[in-house]
Chain A
């Protein structure tokens, strides 16, 4: 019993002798794990209402921290069996279908304008493995507990409920205020918070969630609706959107249609192809190759591509030092080598890496073994592209380039009907091999008879060929003469060498490039192999 005579001292010293336990270890553990506990659907009584402001802050923090975990469980088949949530379906679902799901932002419109989606994190620590991983896409978590929030550097969120199709925020929301060095992220997160608090309209249609308010709109896909990333193998993909460092790539132009493919500067769709290797690597990991359409035929080694969790890992590219203005593929190759995440939904593929992303649609009916696009240019060579295995593709201009500013052909029209190769007698205007100059000008490739190609000469050669996609491949035995040809005179062609060279070139199965109609009525195209480019024309 304390003495009441000294109110300052004795009566209040009763607690001085009590020493609270040192709970530092528990505090550290809480700091690490509290957000998991707070977000757990079955909050205990002790946690549910104890500290609502703290709970909200922790919930938001957890949205940030949950990124890695969500990525790891995204393809658990059991995840498809969500409580009371219908899966795919073209018709609209009730807005309440948004709860209990994680949604990945695929599109943001601000004031009616499509803006790039900045990822939530470029790099973070995977809490399961302890490894550094990333990037992590922007996601909205709509917990069954009625808490919604975006992940990110400054995650924001709080309690909310649905009033019809309107998401009404409840009570106090939390928002972190950290400095974030990822370009555009802080602006995006501030906008997201304001948007989410503005009583947005909710539309759920199958795996797609749309939040809209006035001219602002966010489209999101259920992260559990992703297909296995291995679905990329064996298909060619046509690029529909390519964003580099938050800006649409200057290397490609928009197709006039809303869903059309991107085109390179001569109006050819930009494509790439994944081809799975016949044998997995010793660890059982599926590997394969990647080939980019284009003049320089940039490609990986047969097992140079693998998928790790949901990341695409590209060891490096090899290419040939063709002289061609081939900028989209090198820029794409650089992007592929940044280890982008794979988001595959049916025929739609999205690769994300930091603030860069590439969207593509699967090309139906294309031959993945060939070069489906066979893209090339009909312009003069303007740059040298080099790539090293395991390195980064670089492009160095040799001469000033004057490039069109749109996808319109430079002159005349550009088509890609490779069947037009047959039925014509083509004159060789340029032969380039190993990046070196003109060889064998004036030679003729006679394809006037469908299915037959003849190269007239001292020792002419010819045989049946057919089209496989855009590739021209021998389809039977070739014949050639074997006569003694005159020795080359000063300045004259080495006819014997020329004839042998063309026979070898055609037997390699060249790819036919785009057809360019000149203003003078001529048509020009190119034949491409791994080592050489032959430009041919006919009037």
Chain B
């Protein structure tokens, strides 16, 4: 039982079965299930983390320009996933969506923290450390795109999503993703061919 609590988090401390020892069928993990179920959920989340950690992190770095934001968003999204338990039907899809939302909130806060006169993403993100030079070039080029274009490139070209799956993450249509991708790639080619275009 204690293991279940650790895995599920304090938010799940609630109703590990009543005095009658019964648990309702179909309820979420923390309510009805025992430690075995909790462990299974934790293992499932761990497997999703192992699979998604790198592409998700890279996509958020590509979109946000900040490995700090990516670190935070990925860790927080999977922590949320652990806490929510089996009510999340598709952990991978949930992690993609929530990580981008968390990162968006983090970026917004950081922009506010920089105060008036900030020049947006470049100020927020600063110079990404832990990144090789070619990665830094890519991130800086991406920073010149619109937010939506950057999201599409991050999901499709960096993380390997298809247009439909990227659309599911972004809550838009596959056609929109394709259009945004086309414009983004055209712009990126220019930016990466002429580094002088990098900052303007």
Interface of A toward B, CB cutoff 8 Å? 1-2, 4, 7-8, 11-24, 26-28, 30-36, 45, 49-54, 57-58, 60-62, 64-68, 120-125, 127, 130, 132, 152-153, 177-182, 338, 354
**Contacts between chains A and B (CB distance < 8 A), count:** 216
Which among A33, A58, A62 has the highest number of chain B CB atoms within 10 Å? A58
Which among B7, B9, B24, B157 has the highest number of chain A CB atoms within 10 Å? B9
Q: How large is the interface on B (under 10, 10 to 19, 20 to 34, 35 or more residues)?
A: 35 or more
CA distance A130 to B16 in the complex (A): 13
Cβ of A7: which chain B residues have Cβ within 8 Å of it?
Answer: 185, 188-189
Which among B10, B98, B113, B136 has the highest number of chain A CB atoms within 10 Å? B10
Which among A15, A17, A177 has the highest number of chain B CB atoms within 10 Å? A15
Cβ of A125: which chain B residues have Cβ within 8 Å of it?
Answer: 1-2, 5, 13, 16
| Interface pair B8/A31, CB less than 8 Å apart | yes
Segment of B26-34, B114-122, B168-176 in the binding face: B26-34
Which among A8, A21, A124, A152 has the highest number of chain B CB atoms within 10 Å? A124
Please, which residue of chain B has its CB at the minimum distance from the CB of A20?
Answer: B57
Please, which residue of chain A has its CB at the minimum distance from the CB of B193?
Answer: A4
The contact sample of 29 A-B pairs, CB cut-off 8 A, is A2-B138, A8-B185, A14-B132, A15-B135, A17-B132, A20-B58, A21-B71, A24-B46, A28-B42, A31-B9, A31-B83, A50-B72, A50-B106, A54-B102, A57-B80, A61-B9, A61-B10, A64-B10, A65-B9, A67-B13, A121-B13, A124-B15, A125-B1, A125-B5, A127-B10, A153-B15, A178-B27, A179-B32, A181-B17
Cβ of A24: which chain B residues have Cβ within 8 Å of it?
Answer: 46, 49
| Interface pair A179/B189, CB less than 8 Å apart | no
Interface residues of B in 38-95 (CB under 8 A from A): 42, 46, 49, 53-54, 57-58, 61-62, 67, 70-72, 74-76, 78-80, 82-83, 87
| Interface pair A181/B102, CB less than 8 Å apart | no
Residue B6 lies at the interface, judged by CB distance under 8 Å to chain A:
yes
Cβ of A30: which chain B residues have Cβ within 8 Å of it?
Answer: 75-76, 79
Closest 10 pairs (CB-CB, A-B):
A61-B11, A179-B27, A65-B10, A30-B79, A31-B82, A181-B24, A14-B138, A20-B57, A14-B134, A31-B9
Tell me the dominant secondary structure on chain B's binding face: helix
1/0 contact string of B156-187 vs chain A (CB within 8 Å): 01100000000000000000000000000100
Q: Given A54-B102, A57-B80, decide whether A64 and B13 contact each other with a Cβ distance below 8 A.
A: yes
CA distance A391 to B113 in the complex (A): 64
Given contacts A14-B138, A132-B1, 20 further A-B contacts (CB under 8 A): A4-B192, A11-B188, A15-B139, A18-B131, A20-B70, A20-B74, A34-B9, A49-B109, A51-B106, A54-B98, A60-B11, A64-B14, A65-B12, A121-B13, A124-B15, A178-B27, A179-B31, A179-B32, A180-B14, A338-B19
- Which of A20, A53, A121, A132 contacts B54, CB < 8 Å? A20
- How many whole Å from B183's CB to the nearest CB in chain A? 12
- Which of A14, A20, A66, A132 contacts B53, CB < 8 Å? A20
Q: Given A20-B57, A26-B75, decide whether A177 and B87 contact each other with a Cβ distance below 8 A.
A: yes
| Interface pair A54/B131, CB less than 8 Å apart | no
Please, which residue of chain A has its CB at the minimum distance from the CB of B138?
Answer: A14
| Interface pair B9/A32, CB less than 8 Å apart | yes
CA distance A8 to B58 in the complex (A): 16
| Interface pair B133/A1, CB less than 8 Å apart | yes
CA distance A31 to B10 in the complex (A): 8
| Interface pair B13/A65, CB less than 8 Å apart | yes
| Interface pair B14/A54, CB less than 8 Å apart | no
- How many whole Å from A122's CB to the nearest CB in chain B? 4
Q: Given A23-B75, A53-B101, A132-B1, decide whether A124 and B14 contact each other with a Cβ distance below 8 A.
A: yes
| Interface pair A50/B8, CB less than 8 Å apart | no
Please, which residue of chain A has its CB at the minimum distance from the CB of B68?
Answer: A46
CA distance A27 to B70 in the complex (A): 14
1/0 contact string of B123-137 vs chain A (CB within 8 Å): 000000011111111
Please, which residue of chain B has its CB at the minimum distance from the CB of A7?
Answer: B185
Please, which residue of chain B has its CB at the minimum distance from the CB of A34?
Answer: B79
- Which of A60, A121, A127 contacts B15, CB < 8 Å? A121
| Interface pair B138/A15, CB less than 8 Å apart | yes
| Interface pair A179/B26, CB less than 8 Å apart | yes
CA distance A24 to B67 in the complex (A): 17
Cβ of B9: which chain A residues have Cβ within 8 Å of it?
Answer: 31-35, 61, 65
Cβ of B7: which chain A residues have Cβ within 8 Å of it?
Answer: 28, 31
| Interface pair B137/A2, CB less than 8 Å apart | yes
Q: Given A125-B13, A354-B19, decide whether A18 and B58 contact each other with a Cβ distance below 8 A.
A: yes
